[in-house]
Each structure stands twice: as C-alpha cells, then as structure tokens.
Amino acid sequence: MIKKVYAKIVSIEKIAKETMKMVLENEHISQFAKPGQFVHIKVADHTLRRPISIAETNVETNTFTILFKTVGSGTRRLASYEAGEYLDLLGPNGTGFPLDRVEENDVILLIGGGIGVPPVYFLAKELTRLNVNVHAILGFQSKDYVFYEEEFKQWNDVTIVTDDGSYGKKGFVTDYVHDINGIDRYFACGPLPMLKAVKEELEGVEGYLSFEERMGCGIGACYACVIPTNTKDKYKKICQDGPVLHANEVKL
Amino acid sequence: MIKKVYAKIVSIEKIAKETMKMVLENEHISQFAKPGQFVHIKVADHTLRRPISIAETNVETNTFTILFKTVGSGTRRLASYEAGEYLDLLGPNGTGFPLDRVEENDVILLIGGGIGVPPVYFLAKELTRLNVNVHAILGFQSKDYVFYEEEFKQWNDVTIVTDDGSYGKKGFVTDYVHDINGIDRYFACGPLPMLKAVKEELEGVEGYLSFEERMGCGIGACYACVIPTNTKDKYKKICQDGPVLHANEVKL
Amino acid sequence: MIDLSVSLPGLELKNPVMPASGCFGFGREYSQFYDLSVLGAVIMKAATGTERLGNPTPRVAETASGMLNAIGLQNPGVDRIIAEEIPFLRQFHIPIIANVAGSTVEEYEEVAKKLSKVEDLAAIELNISCPNVKEGGIQFGIDPDMAAEVTKRVKAVTSVPVYVKLSPNVTDIVQMAKAIEAAGADGLTMINTLTGMKIDLKTKKPLIANKTGGLSGPAIKPVAIRMIYEVRKHTSLPIIGMGGIQTAEDVLEFLLAGANAVAVGTANFQNPYVCPEIIQHLPIVLERYGFHSVKEATGGAHR
Amino acid sequence: MIDLSVSLPGLELKNPVMPASGCFGFGREYSQFYDLSVLGAVIMKAATGTERLGNPTPRVAETASGMLNAIGLQNPGVDRIIAEEIPFLRQFHIPIIANVAGSTVEEYEEVAKKLSKVEDLAAIELNISCPNVKEGGIQFGIDPDMAAEVTKRVKAVTSVPVYVKLSPNVTDIVQMAKAIEAAGADGLTMINTLTGMKIDLKTKKPLIANKTGGLSGPAIKPVAIRMIYEVRKHTSLPIIGMGGIQTAEDVLEFLLAGANAVAVGTANFQNPYVCPEIIQHLPIVLERYGFHSVKEATGGAHR
Ligand SMILES: Cc1cc2nc3c(=O)[nH]c(=O)nc-3n(C[C@H](O)[C@H](O)[C@H](O)COP(=O)(O)OP(=O)(O)OC[C@H]3O[C@@H](n4cnc5c(N)ncnc54)[C@H](O)[C@@H]3O)c2cc1C
Ligand SMILES: Cc1cc2nc3c(=O)[nH]c(=O)nc-3n(C[C@H](O)[C@H](O)[C@H](O)COP(=O)(O)OP(=O)(O)OC[C@H]3O[C@@H](n4cnc5c(N)ncnc54)[C@H](O)[C@@H]3O)c2cc1C
Ligand SMILES: Cc1cc2nc3c(=O)[nH]c(=O)nc-3n(C[C@H](O)[C@H](O)[C@H](O)COP(=O)(O)O)c2cc1C
Ligand SMILES: Cc1cc2nc3c(=O)[nH]c(=O)nc-3n(C[C@H](O)[C@H](O)[C@H](O)COP(=O)(O)O)c2cc1C
Ligand code: FES
Ligand code: FES
C-alpha cells in the first residue's frame, strides 16, 4: 500500500561519479517495499516529485536505501539534503519484479545498466532467500561510475562491463549474456536502448524489464507514464502496472 | 554606495509578538549605513527582494541589526533562517534621515509606529553624537508588540503609546506630540495613516517622514515605488530618493 | 460555524473543493489515501466517444512553479467510464462531474447524451480545448462561434447541467464567456492550461513528444484570477475556478475574484492529501479574513 | 573560442544579452554595479510623447516564480530621454534600443521620429501593448490590423530599424507576427507580459492599484518558448526573445526555440549582476551542449 510518509535521512554519501547513496529511516517503506518498487520524492523548489528506486531495505533498523545519479536540478537538489533532514515521499510505488514463478535451481540473470543497478541489487538480495542460481551483469559508462561491485559479490557471480573497457570487461551488457548458459529467466533495469537490446538478445527467454518515464502523479492517476503494450488495454502505466513489465507484453 | 553582499546571520531572536531581531555581519553595510536606509534582502523561494530598514550598526564588530515583523510569506521565511546562514542583500539602499540641518540644542521629536520604530532607533542613537534634545514617542498595537523601550531609554526621553492602552499611554502617537514643547524638527516612520496624522498635527514644524511602498528593483530602476510630490519632477522614488522625504514635498 | 456549502446548477456541494479533471483519474488511486466522500465533488478525467490512447511520451515536464502536460485525452471511452468508473465513484455519495471531450461536435453530443442517461451524474464539464478535426484542428475553445455551437448542441441533447471549461489561450476571455452564456450553458469552469513549451538542451528538441503542452500550477494562478475577475464582471453564470490552487488561502483568492467553487489539479501530484487538507483549513481561513460562509466570500473583490 | 556575436538589423551585438525594457531604467542604477559596456545592447524604459506619471501604487506584486507590474509607462517623455538619458548611455559604446509607446498612432510616430534623429540610436522597439485611447482602449498589440497599421506608420517616419514587441495575450501569436512582418517590421521582440491579477486577502481588493498587471519572470517562460518556437516556424524576422530568463541555460533554450538574441527583465531585480553573469557563463553552456556560436544555436530545435 502506498503511503505518504516523512522519512529521516540517516546518511548521504557519494559512492561513484555523479552517484549518491542515501539511507532513510521509515518503517512503512522498509517493511513493505519489494524489489523494483520506487519512492516518489518531493524535492524542495520543484513542482513534480522524483521517482527513485528502492535499492535495499532493512527491516531490523527500519531503514531503506536509495541510489541516485545527479543528472538535473531535482537530483542535484536531492543530493544537497543532509543527514537528519526529512524527505516527504510516497511509497512504495509500482509493481516490482515478480518472484512467484521463480523455481528452485532456476538460472537467473540479472542485468543492470548504470543507475538501473539499484533495483537489481535489491532483487539480488531477495533472491538469496530462494535456492536459485543468480548471475549478474552490470554495465557502466566507465570506471568512475562503477558502484556496488562488492555488494553484489556477497550474493552472486557478477560481471562488470564498461562501455570503454576502463574497468571490467569492455562493451555492452548484451555482449556477455551468452556467457551464461541455460538462463531460465532474466530481470533487467537500465536505459531504454539497453532494455531493447537485452530483449532482442534474449528473445525466447522469459524476461522482465524495468522502465523509466517522466511522471506526474506517480500513482496511476494522470496517464503521464504510459507505455504501449500488446495486452488487452493496449498500454500500461509505468508508475502503477510497472515499472517492471514482462518483456513480451511491451512494444519497444 | 549600494553593494550586493552576503551577510552572515550572527543571531536571530523573537523580541515581541510577530517581531524578530536579526543581527548580521557585513563590513560594507555596517560601515556605510545611515539611519533611514534599508537593505533589500533576497528571501528563498521568493521572486522579489524584501526591503527592511537598518536598525543599528556596529562599526567595531562589523555587524548591523534589522528588526522585522512576520506579516506574510516572505518575512515568515526570513524568520526561519538560522544563525550561521548567509543572506544575499543589497545595501545600504535609499536616502536616510537628513541630519545636516540639525543644530545644537534643537528639540527633536522622533515618532515611530510599530515596525517603523527600528529606523527611528538607529536615528536616536546617531543623534546622541549631536548635542540635541531628543524625545521619542513610540506607538504599538498593544502590550505584546512593544519592543526597544529600554534601548531608547539609554539615549532619550521616551513615551510608549498603545492603541488599547494595554501598555504605556493609550491612544495614538499624535495624541501626545503636543506634550513636547518647542519642537524644532521631527522625524517619523510608521504606517501611512500615522504619517498623515503626524504631518497634519505638526503642520508648520519641519518634518521628515519615512515611507513604505511595494518595491521591484529597490534601487530606482523600475518605477514601482513612486510617491507623488509637489517638487519639479512631480514624484520621488521611495527606494532611491526616499524612503525619507520632507513632509512638505509629498502629497499624501 | 462557517458554512462551506454551495448550491450550483446540478451541484449541491457541502464544500466548494473538488479535484480538477485529468489530475485525479477516476478517483481510484486517491481513494487509497483518503475517503473521497469528504470532497465537495469530483470531476472525472475526460471522456471521449471511443477509447483514446493519447500522445506519445514524454507527456509531462516540469517548469518554474508549474508543469506542462500533453496527455492527449487518454481515456477508456465513455462506455467503459459509465460501466466501470462511475459505479466506483458512486459509493462516495458526492456529486460526480463528467468531463466531455471530442474532435467533432457529433462526438461531444454522443458522449454527453450517453452520460446524461447515467442516473446520478451531477453535471457535465465541456472540455472545449480539443482540436476540432473537421475544422482543421482549430480548437473549439478559442473561437466564440464554435464554442457557442458546441455548447448549444450539447445542451440540446442532455438533461444535466452543462459547465463549459474555458481555455485561457484567447485574446478576449469575456467574449468567449458571453458567447457560451448566450448559448445556454449552466456554468463555466476556468481556466484550462496555457499552451507552453520546454526545450531539452541535450536533445535540442521540445521535451514533450507532442511539442507543446498545457501549463498548469501556481505559475498560472495570476492569469486564472484575472480571467475569473473579468468574466465575473460580465456574466452571471456560476464559475468553478481553477489554476494553481495549493492552499485554502488560494481558494479564498479565487472566491474573491468571483468563483463559486474551485477545482484543484496539479497540486494533487505534489500532495495527494491536498484536497482534504484544503477543505479542513478553509473554514479557518474564511474566519480569519472575516467571512462566515463561502457564499459570502464569492465575488468579494467586486464589492 | 565560442562566438557570441550576433548581427541583426541595426544591431551589431558582441553578445546576445541585453536588459529588457522597463527593468533597467536608463541604465544609471545598474551602472553602480558594473560597467554596462559588457552588455550586448541595452533597451531603455518606454518613451512617450510627453512625460507620464504612470499608475497609482502599489504597482508591483509577487507571484509564484513571477511578479505582476502595472507601472503605467512612467517616463520623463521622449525629449528629456534624448537630452538626459541617451547621452549617459552613450559612454558605454553599446547599441541603444529605444522602447516607444503611445496612446495614438500619432504619438508613436512623433516619438519614433524624434528618436530616429538621434545619431547613434541603434533601433526602436515598438511597445504595442498600450491601450489605444482613440480606439476605446483596445491594445494595438492584440489586433493584427492595428498592429500592422502602427508598424507601417512608424516605419514610414523613421530610418532606424524597427522591432515590434509582441503581446502574449492573444489567441494567435503567429497571425500577429505575420501581420507585423507584412507591415515591414525589421524584427520582433517577444514576449511582453501576460495579463494577470492578484487579490489581497486582507483588503479583498486587487493588490495592484491598476487591478490587473503584467506577469513576468520564470512562470511565463514556457509560454515565451512556445510562442517564439511557433513564430520562428512562420516568419523569417529576427527575434529578440524574453520572458523569465535567469540563467545562461535559459538563454540557450530561447536560442534553440528560435531567438536570435535575448533580453532579461525581472531577473535584474533579484540579482543586479544577472546580465554580466549570464554573459560570462554563456560560452561555457554553449560549449557544454556542443555549440560553437550563438548563431549556430539559434533555431536549433527546428532542425
Ligand atoms: C520508476 C523509476 C525509477 C527510477 N529510479 C531511479 C534510481 O533509482 N536512481 C536514479 O538516479 N534515477 C532513477 N530514476 C530516474 C530519475 O527519476 C530521474 O533521473 C530524475 O527524476 C531526474 O530528475 P532531475 O530533476 O535531476 O532531472 P531533470 O532532467 O532536470 O528532470 C526534470 C523532470 O524530468 C523528470 N525526469 C527526468 N529524467 C527522468 C527519468 N529518466 N525518468 C523519470 N523522470 C525523469 C523528472 O522527474 C522531472 O520531472 C527512476 C525513474 C523511474 C521512472
Ligand atoms: C523602505 C522600507 C523599509 C522597511 N523596513 C521594514 C522593517 O524594518 N521591518 C519590517 O518588518 N518591515 C519593513 N518594511 C516592510 C517590509 O518590507 C514588508 O513587511 C515585507 O516586504 C512583507 O513581505 P512578506 O512577504 O512577509 O509579506 P507579503 O504581503 O506576503 O509580501 C508580498 C509582497 O509585498 C511586498 N510588501 C508587502 N508589504 C510591504 C510593505 N509594507 N512595504 C514594502 N513592500 C511590501 C513584499 O516586498 C512582497 O513583494 C519596510 C518596507 C520598506 C519599503
Ligand atoms: C496532467 C493533467 C491532465 C489534465 N487533463 C485534463 C482533462 O482531461 N480535461 C480537462 O478539461 N482538463 C485537464 N487538465 C487541466 C486541469 O483540469 C486544470 O484545468 C488545469 O491543470 C489548471 O489547474 P491546476 O493549476 O490546479 O492544475 C489536465 C491537467 C493536468 C496537469
Ligand atoms: C517592472 C517592469 C516594467 C516593464 N516595463 C516595460 C516597458 O516600459 N516597456 C516594455 O515594452 N516592456 C516592459 N516590461 C516588460 C519586459 O520588458 C519583458 O518583456 C517582460 O518582463 C518579460 O521578461 P522577464 O520575464 O525577463 O521580465 C516591463 C516589465 C517589468 C517587470
Ligand atoms: S505518473 Fe501519473 S499515471 Fe503514471
Ligand atoms: S523599487 Fe524600483 S524604482 Fe523603487
């Protein structure tokens, strides 16, 4: 259930180039958030809230983590908040990665591109509860942007790819998906061109993609964030039906 | 000379109902400000700057004081700043109370109404440098709004008047101006109806009034703050030619 | 006791605050946050003759104290709105206003006709800011003759009161209002969005896929207040005012300008509780400024 | 090296940034803060045939991300502007643009005629947002025929290039621009302010003594960008763009929409250094977005 809450900023730090990590305290979000869901954050001096994925929750400390890239004025303003301040946010919003069809011993591929890595991390952590085989491929622009390699390594086999080869392997995540054999299911989050390429490359494999779109309400009321689908309704709302959608139902 | 400066807030406190006192540190303002001049303050989230009179300067500590009433969203936001923060301000703006014609042993009447008291206080303090006879009449709505009585008493004879008689004498400042004999010159700052009444009551005495008007630029460029006069130009700009104007030149 | 109630054609409002069309869907999402029965009324998302899928995305962009949107009237079509959405809203026992849109006068007629058969529909809001495909895309809302024509034709086929929603993108808002009054409208709602654009410096293209979008939010409030004030001077139709309302003080400003009731749009996105919060705060604000009722405040700036 | 220079009729600009009319007086006050010779040009406060004392006060009010003003063209009259103000501005060796206003076509002609005799006046900006007393107060700026008429008549009596300043308070900005282009204007400046109002909750009256005022500042930027984009598509006249500019990024957005140069109004009140700061920052911003010159960025959103 989505609630409007005030979450206290526990810590905020820069963890890679243009990339901030913020830990927030709020019981509702930390108890109920599922991987793939997001919070819709009110940022001072801005009309519209900003959607940011939940990267981790901790039910013991009632905290949750978000990671964000400072790309424009809203995320830059968000980066200027300090520990101890409160953020007004809605959450948890949207529908996350579906885990109900995951079966024991499945080979699962996680793909994260840039700031698409955080929700995939949350998913990776959740998947450790199930007895499955998880492989992660994470793509970044270049060395300076890489984050969370160690965090992933706790749980999974992980391959880091950079566009320019300045760290890990060189190229795009799609160049390495075939290194993993017998993939039963994949989950991906990242920029649209990456999602398109992943869908094509893994044609035939059951997959779920997490999408981004500019949002108004963030809760399904304004029709700002639709994506065309081949389902009965012909579209889905990314903020409500998504951000995670079945790769085969979306028209890319 | 007007400069754009960043002044550090040294302290901020509430000194009476809806009335804040803020001490700021800035060399330029504290060295050059004259009684009657104002600073034009940029307040977060507001398009237009807010004009606030300078209530006191201290050339040793490079500080100056402003007092303001929280009447609307700008002054309420101003009241929410904290010591240590910096304010972007223009100053000192405008033309203050003229002291060049004040002569030794003159009987001088100072009249302040409500938040018009601060510039009059600055003037009272300045006048102590001259060998003159100063009387102050300060009007407030009611007891809770009274401030700076003690501060004035250091320098002058002072009469406090409240509209409802809840403190000091009851009535309007104009009810008591004739208690002072042989006034050579008066200086007044307060709401427009008070200024009008003072001018009428003291017809024939040389007087100077400090005016308020909604401002745009605050420096004389936009013609927002004009007041009709019977001078050659037919008008004066309150932000530049004023806020202090000769009582006889303005058309009220 | 401050009296918040307002009686307008078709609308017995217990308070003057309702969500604006397109900013509240059909109420389902906001009903997660609060009981919609506290609202004065509700205005639904636009209904067209058949399902519309709207414009390509991005459909929204942020601006200083405002936002642009070009949703493009996406909606499931009037039949499904009647079958699926109105029954949901009915449970809250508040007046339901349907926002009617179309590309031809015939489409307006058809949608209005269907809606007016819905037993407890309180009123229709005619959204005339849509481009008329027959007339080469010119909006009904910017031409007084076309606006009058669509008003007249819709009035002829419906039994529920018709409020016409004025576009602010016109030289003479009073002329529009008078034409619509003469055509028999029961009321006006105003203002719709101002046409605007934002260019993405990175792509060098208009950020909104539709290029232009409608500007809403506090940025446009001064334009809304001015237009309501002018229209109030020259027509006697009731006015539901909107454009940038965020607080109960804003509501009072609209009432003083001449609005009889108000709608809240963009502010719902910032604070899903904005409507109930305004409703709770409104009596306090009315009292502070010396009013005993909403009715007393309406038109206050004209006295 | 990023080339900031722009050549427009009568205006050889070393950079495209100039203060907007009415927001900079005649430069004296801002010259306390910086050397005005850094500016691309300067547009003076409106000049009328004789001295005008303007509207009663209050003349300004704050709004969300904007402000309202109703100064009412206060100015010392064209003769004193020529005698006292232009000589002051001349020392900075930047193009001087005179903003010309009037209540009758004859007054526009008279003012323009006098100004065009000033040796080094670079251009005239026709402020057609003034009510025409002869035509019953209708603004020249909202009627294409009247706008064309005043443009034609002023062009006939002056030898300096004439830029006509468009009012955004019209249904069809392109129609206005085309009428003015056909009438022989050398360029357009746009946009002037949107008409707005604010009501004082305490007094229950419009806060501005004139009741309505002109809305300026970031709030109106999306409307300015949209109108410039549309006008650029349909005319080939050079455009000096304005409306809510605060930063060099804003300037780039105006250039992409189709402006050849820009003017900065309201932002001067917030930051007296805004023009020189924008000028300093503009090359960095142009470079960041891949441009080598202002000219290259102009119209970028249309390619
Ligand atoms: C479901 C979802 C989850 C997201 N999770 C994350 C995350 O975990 N970390 C992260 O860094 N970013 C995430 N994003 C993207 C993030 O919302 C944008 O980067 C951010 O809103 C940009 O705001 P800005 O003001 O800095 O940029 P500007 O470009 O100045 O933003 C202006 C406007 O555009 C919108 N906007 C811009 N880019 C996007 C975008 N890609 N998606 C949606 N709205 C956008 C903003 O909300 C705002 O309305 C997510 C987006 C969605 C839709
Ligand atoms: C020369 C001068 C000196 C002043 N000195 C002081 C002082 O020392 N202490 C103090 O408390 N107040 C002083 N004022 C008044 C003060 O500027 C206003 O109370 C303040 O701007 C109100 O802002 P607000 O946002 O709280 O109120 P709002 O009413 O919300 O203000 C909205 C707008 O109105 C303007 N405004 C409102 N009232 C006034 C006013 N009376 N004068 C000018 N602009 C106004 C604001 O600047 C703003 O643009 C002075 C005014 C002037 C002109
Ligand atoms: C996302 C969005 C969608 C809208 N959709 C509609 C609509 O379908 N029909 C309509 O008449 N108005 C629509 N509007 C306009 C609003 O109802 C309202 O008139 C306008 O936004 C001004 O009010 P505001 O500033 O409170 O948002 C929409 C506005 C927004 C922001
Ligand atoms: C206080 C003020 C006075 C103005 N006076 C004039 C004027 O005399 N002539 C004119 O053509 N425009 C005048 N304008 C309009 C501006 O030149 C400009 O077109 C408008 O403010 C939009 O730009 P901005 O948002 O940068 O302020 C005035 C604007 C303001 C705010
Ligand atoms: S953002 Fe409003 S429907 Fe998705
Ligand atoms: S405020 Fe601009 S001239 Fe006084």
Cβ of B115 closer than 6 Å to ligand 2, yes or no, is yes
- Asked if D229 reaches chain C (Cβ–Cβ under 8 Å), the answer is yes
pLDDT at res. D136: 65
- CA B221 – ligand 6 centroid, Å: 6
Q: What local confidence, expressed as pLDDT, does residue A155 receive?
A: 80
- Provide mean pLDDT across the span B106-120: 94
**Cα–Cα distance for residue pair C251/C264, rounded to 1 Å:** 9
Mark the ranges of chain D whose per-residue pLDDT is less than 70.
132-133, 136-137
User: Which residues fall within 8 angstroms of residue B121, CB to CB, at 6 or more apart?
Assistant: B55, B56, B112, B148, B151, B152
Q: How close does chain D come to C65, measured CA to CA in Å?
A: 6
| Separation of CA C266 and ligand 3 centre (Å) | 7
- In this complex, do D171 and C142 lie within 8 Å of one another by their Cβ atoms? yes
Q: Specify the CATH number for B3-93; select among 2.40.30.10, 3.40.50.2020, 3.90.190.10, 3.60.150.10.
A: 2.40.30.10
Q: Does the C-beta of B213 come closer than 6 Å to ligand 6?
A: no
Q: For the sheet containing C66-69, what is the strand order? A: C60-63, C66-69, C213-216, C194-196
Q: Atom 21 of ligand 2 has which residue's CA nearest to it?
A: B50
Instruction: Retrieve residue B251's tokens.
Output: 């058309």
| Structure tokens that stand for A179 in this block | 């290194």
For residue C288, pLDDT over 80 is answered with yes
Q: Using a CB-CB distance cutoff of 8 angstroms, which residues of chain C are in contact with residue D225?
A: 196-199
Q: Which of D97, D188, D192 to mutate to test the pocket of ligand 4 (most atoms within 8 A of CB)?
A: D192
CB-based contact A125:A117 (threshold 8 Å): no
Is there a cis peptide before residue B119, judged by omega within 30 degrees of 0?
no
Cα separation, D127 vs D21, whole angstroms: 9
- The proportion of chain C whose per-residue pLDDT surpasses 70, expressed as a percent, equals 98
Q: What's the gap in Å between C222 CA and the centre of ligand 6?
A: 22
In angstroms, the CA C270 to CA B146 distance is 40
Shortest distance between the Cα of C269 and any Cα of chain A, in A, equals 4
D58 cis-preceded (ω within 30 degrees of 0): yes
Measured in angstroms, how far is the CA atom of residue D138 from the centroid of ligand 6?
A: 28
Residues A21-44: what's their mean pLDDT? Answer: 97
> Using one digit for the tens of pLDDT, what is the confidence trace for D127-148?
998 776 677 667 899 999 999 9
- The secondary structure element, H or E, covering residue A149 is helix A149-155
Q: Which chain B residue has the Cα nearest residue D61?
A: B214
ipTM above 0.90, yes or no: yes
* Contact present, C128 and C154 (Cβ < 8 Å): no
Mutate to test the interface with A, among C44, C62, C71 (most CBs of A within 10 A): C62
Q: CB atoms < 10 A from the CB of B36, how many?
A: 26
pTM (2 d.p.): 0.96
Q: Are the beta carbons of C34 and C273 closer than 8 angstroms?
A: yes
| C97 pLDDT above the threshold of 80 | yes
Q: What pLDDT is attached to residue B100? A: 87
Whether the CB of A216 sits within 6 Å of ligand 5: yes
- A114: how many CB neighbours lie within 10 A of its CB? 20
User: pLDDT digit string (tens) for D255-267?
Assistant: 999 999 999 999 9
Q: Cβ(B226) to ligand 6 under 6 A?
A: no
Contact B225/D22, CB-based, under 8 Å? no
pLDDT tens for each residue of A132-179? 999 999 999 999 999 999 999 888 889 999 999 999 999 999 999 888
Q: Which residues of C are identified as catalytic?
A: 130
A81-132 tens-digit pLDDT: 999 999 999 999 999 999 988 888 899 999 999 999 999 999 999 998 888 9
Does A15 sit in the ligand 5 pocket, CB within 6 Å? no
Interchain contact, B49 vs D61, CB within 8 Å: no
Closest of A241, A172, A186 to residue A213, by C-alpha: A241
Average pLDDT over residues B185-190: 96
Domain(s) labelled CATH 2.40.30.10 in chain B stretch across 3-93
Residue C136: is its pLDDT beyond 80? Answer: no
Q: Please, which chains are in contact with A (at least 3 CB pairs closer than 8 A)?
A: C
Looking at ligand 2, which atom is closest to the CA of residue B54? 8
Dihedral, CA atoms, D210, D212, D217, D221, nearest 10 degrees?
Answer: -150
Give the separation between CA C82 and CA B180, rounded to whole angstroms. 80
DSSP 8-state class, residue D85: I
Q: What is the CATH number of domain A99-249?
A: 3.40.50.80
Say what the pLDDT of residue B213 is: 96
Asked if residue A190 lies in contact with residue A112, where contact means CB atoms within 8 angstroms, the answer is: yes
C61: nearest CA in chain D? D222
Pick from A2, A214, A219: CB nearest C60:
A214
**Which pLDDT score, from 0 to 100, does residue C139 have?**
84
Q: Torsions phi, psi of C211, nearest 5?
A: 70, -70
Ligand 5 centroid to residue A218 C-alpha, Å: 5
Ligand 2, atom 11, lies closest to the CA of B68
pLDDT of residue C137: 66
Question: What is residue C133's predicted lDDT score, i.e. its pLDDT?
Answer: 67
List where CATH 3.40.50.80 sits in chain B.
Answer: 99-249
CB contact under 8 A, A222 and C62: no
Beta strand extents in D145-291 (DSSP E only) = 162-165, 187-190, 194-196, 199-200, 205-206, 213-216, 239-241, 261-264
| Cross-chain Cβ contact A48/C63 below 8 Å | no
All residues of chain A having their beta carbon less than 8 Å from the beta carbon of residue C28 are: 220-221
- pLDDT exceeding 70 applies to what percent of chain D? 98
Could you report the per-residue pLDDT of B191-208, keeping only the tens digit for each? Answer: 999 999 999 999 999 999
Phi, psi of D246 (to 5 degrees): -130, -25
